[in-house]
Structure 1
Amino acid sequence: MDYIDLKKLSEMLNPPTANSSDSEDDLPKSSLVQLCKSKTGKDTKILTNESIKKNDEKNQKKIELLESEEDKAKNIWQEEEIVVAPEAIDVISDTRVRPEYDVKYQQYVGTEDAFLQMGPKTPLTSSCEAMVIEVKMPGDRMPGICTDITDEAVDIRSPKYRLHVPFPHNVYKQMSKALWNSSTNILTVTVFLKREYDDINF
């Protein structure tokens, strides 16, 4: 007698009632938030994906109701004008130390700019071609440092440190460079900015 025969015999001796079910497929598929009693005696919410979406939609409607059209007109920035800075998904959960860093802008000045002042360059950052990021990484060595530069951000990883810095503008990643100073333990990343009005500013 195998397992199937034993199961049939069990069903003959104990016929299933209307409320009992051995199959998971027979369970009600409800997307509503269910409540159950926890060990503390308090109600605990079990959330599903659909219930989370519904809650987000309700919260969004509440925000829209709180902010009228007149209030939106008074805002300095519109929602579509705000650009979200890109960030790596695993940066927040990373347990490594975030190192200190400085951001400087670099401008290439020629003789026509220094003496004759014939060019359109100004001391503002809009006239700077490059951005220099100096990352202080004490206790690290160059073989363990990985620098990943994209058009929108730089991601620096080492056994001790993790740093993700989004750029204010897109950059030319092919022209970017990184230099390691072993005496000061400082990593210098230089990126060349790619902006909309560079033809006017230079």
Structure 2
Amino acid sequence: MESLGVSSSQNLQALSALLTQKEDSDEDCENVTSYARLGPGHIGPPPKQNKEVSTAYMKKNSKDIWSEEEVTEGSQYDDLADLRPQPEYEIILKQSVGTEDLFLGLNGKDPSSMCCEAMLVKIKLPETKATDVSLDVKEKFLDLRTPKYKLGLHLPHPTHTPGGKAQFFSVKEELEVTLPMKRPMDFLTMHM
């Protein structure tokens, strides 16, 4: 197998000679232009010599590994060793609509999610009793535990947890959690 009159053994010897050369050889560096010596570390502005730390990332206690702001809500419930399956669930956004909204459009509500006031989370829990359910709801996280199932759900919108309610339907083997949503810009969107 020859390529352009050069045998494969000559190719191997040439490759071997290239690989055995010293990388830091001074005589090779003399023939190379200054641009060829630049590497990926030379891209961008030069690094600052004095190390200034911004106050946003300063730790309050030197023994802390991270601050509380860096940890996402609900991650304390993540247990990778717990092998219980996640139950089926569905998130439904709800809004209160009256006849004045439906027929006359007086309140300016539309079918979009911006006009929804509450969030309904339906969780199917087969072979589970209401007394077996442990439910903890935070502003943006729902944690449900039963002997057979585990659900850690990050909610799509912030909620008012004190105004929420949960109801277990034993015939359907389903838990329904209704949570009113926090809408910080409601005073702009609903009153225009």
- 1:128 is aligned to 116
Aligned length: 125
Paired residue for 2:179? 191
Q: Secondary structure of 1:131's partner?
A: strand
Distance 1:137 1:110 in 2: 33
CA distance in 1, matches of 2:118, 2:44: 43
Q: Closer, same or farther in 2 for the Cα pair 1:112/1:200, shift >3 Å?
A: farther
1:117 is aligned, of 105, 110, 116, to: 105
Residues 1:159 and 2:147 are matched in the alignment: yes
* CA distance in structure 2 between the aligned counterparts of 1:179 and 1:146, rounded to whole angstroms: 13
- The one-letter amino acid paired with 1:190 is T
Unaligned runs of 5+ in 2: 1-40, 46-69
Structure 2 residue aligned with 1:87: 74
129, 133, 145: which one aligns with 1:145: 133
Amino acid of the residue matched to residue 165 of structure 2? K
| Aligned equivalents of 1:68, 1:89: Cα separation in 2 | 39
CA shift in 2, pair 1:199/1:136, >3 Å: same
Query: How much has 1:114 moved relative to structure 2?
Result: 1.2
TM-score w.r.t. the length of structure 1 is 0.56
Q: Which amino acid aligns with 1:115?
A: F
Question: Structure 1 residue 84: deviation in Å?
Answer: 7.9
The residue aligned with 2:93 is 105
What is the CA-CA distance between 1:101 and the residue it aligns to?
0.4
Which is further off, 84-93 or 138-147? 84-93
* Aligned AA (1:86): E
| Same amino acid, percent of matched pairs | 32
Write the distance in 1 (CA, Å) between the matches of 2:189 and 2:168: 31
Judge conservation of contact 2:77–2:143 (CA < 8 Å) in 1: no
Indicate if the aligned counterparts of 1:120 and 1:201 stay in contact, CA closer than 8 A: no
Change (3 A) 1:184 1:68: farther
| Higher CA-based Rg | 2
User: After the TM superposition, which residues 67-82 of structure 1 pair with which residues of structure 2 at under 5 Å, given as runs?
Assistant: none
TM-score (norm 2): 0.59
C-alpha offsets along residues 73-114 of structure 1, whole Å, 9 cap, x if unaligned? xxxxxxxxxx98533334242221110101111010012201
Bigger strand share: 1
Instruction: Judge conservation of contact 1:102–1:135 (CA < 8 Å) in 2.
Output: yes
Contact 2:77 2:152 in 1 (8 A): no
